[in-house]
Amino acid sequence: MEQGKVELYNSKEEYLSDLEKRGKLPEGFKTSVVSLEFFPAERPVEKPLPMKMSLLMLDEPTSVFGAVFTRNKCPGAPVIIGKERLLSDKIRGVIINNKISNVCTETGVEDSALLLEHLAKETGASAKEFFPSSTGIIGWQLPIKDMVKNIPRLVSQLEGGTGVNLATGIMTTDTFPKLRSAEIADGSIVAVAKGAGMIEPNMATMLSFIMTDVSIERETIRNVLKRVVEKTYNSISVDGDQSTSDTVIIMSSCKKQKVSEKEFEEALYNVCAELAVDIVRNSEGCGHVVKVSVTGAPDFETARNIGKAVVNSPLVTTAIFGNDPNVGRLLSSIGDYAGNNNIELDKNKLLISLGGENVFEKGAFRLDQAKEVRLANYLKARVLDSEHKEFPEHNHTVNIDVDLGARAGNVGATVFGSDLSYGYVRENADYRS
């Protein structure tokens, strides 16, 4: 998940124009998005709340699809149904709503099933050919009557073009849409994602939908998806909270030539890696994107978990938000995880660097006044607007490198996370307001 070229945007319009250029839908796909308003049954509100319903649909059913879901033991109704859909012979598409995640309500599964039944009638397909997907507030019921009324309009507005409307329609507290793509053989991979908080995925990110038109085997696409997700979406963390609704779905129309497993995996990895970092960059209150590269570990899990220990440390992430290179907190978080998980760690072999400068080596800190000033300036140069503009200003990262010195395995992993700002606290304190 290495950072590619430096991307700089000066306006929302400039960013959206770039998405339009990279977002042409693969052959065989159409999308639509409609807006509606509703009054929640659980809470009195003066004005109706907004919701968007999105539809991602193939022109023809496909047998080449896969999905991975959250490991949260209290999953949403769409996850429960989605796991059943993996047994289906063919799939036609996904219907998505934001604002309410449809988790553990008395009628949650029935509501999703009813939505799919009405969608099936409107499209002439089978209800078992659609995935449901919901994101938003946990604990509220879907405004199912209002949603059902809008299905005919949703279906009638299906069109080709780009995936930008879909990327925008699935947003909740995201402030800008996220879409990435890659050309492969004579086809392409195009993917969208949403996610801004409650992000420490396990088997998926919050929501991500991946489309491709290259030909590939069903089992191959599923195996590749699992491997790619492990190294991308499962290697980011914003706040350590795994959602009840995390889902990633991939579908191929198989309209283009066949590609090898290796070629497909490389392209899919690049797309998902970029989207994963986009999610962190757009996370609630993000003022810096933090990239922790761990090497010299005995295995991948240890390397990734050490990286997550750093990006999930409130002491580390608040210091970074304040542009304070308090590197003692890096050492503390690494030693904390190793000590509580019986990980062998020789501090005399441990090497820690920030922004390419060694700050801990051969068992001792390597600091001086000039280096402290350089490191503070390094952090300031990578600041993002934590109040969140409607576009990403840049894709710079705060780079932290950790070499554990375990040469026996010498395995590595890269983890991305966000700093912890005032904006994150405000967003989650006022989330339902």
- Are residues 200 and 242 in contact, defined by beta-carbon separation less than 8 angstroms? yes
Distances in whole angstroms, Cα of residue 248 to Cα of each of 20, 135, 228, 229: 22, 13, 11, 9
Q: Which long-range contacts (CB under 8 A, 24 or more apart) does 16-21 make?
A: 16/164, 16/177, 16/391, 19/162, 19/164, 19/167, 19/177, 19/179, 20/162, 20/164
Which pair of tokens denotes residue 193? 């994602």
CA angle 408, 413, 418 (to 5 degrees): 145
The CA distance from 32 to 373, in Å, is 51
Neighbours of 31 (CB within 10 A): 26
Each residue of 72-93: b (16+ CB within 10 Å) or e?
beebbbbbbbbeebeebeebbb
For residue 135, give every residue at least 6 positions away whose Cβ sits within 8 Å of its Cβ, in sequence order, or none.
96, 97, 98, 101, 170, 172, 194, 206, 207, 245
Distances in whole angstroms, Cα of residue 99 to Cα of each of 22, 38, 195, 208, 307: 27, 10, 12, 16, 32
Find the catalytic residue in 70, 135, 162, 205.
205
Q: Which of 78, 104, 415, 111 is nearest to 247 (CA)?
A: 78
For residue 415, give every residue at least 6 positions away whose Cβ sits within 8 Å of its Cβ, in sequence order, or none.
235, 236, 237, 291, 292, 294, 304, 307, 308, 310, 311
Q: Is 135 a catalytic residue?
A: no
- Are residues 17 and 179 in contact, defined by beta-carbon separation less than 8 angstroms? no
Catalytic positions, please?
205
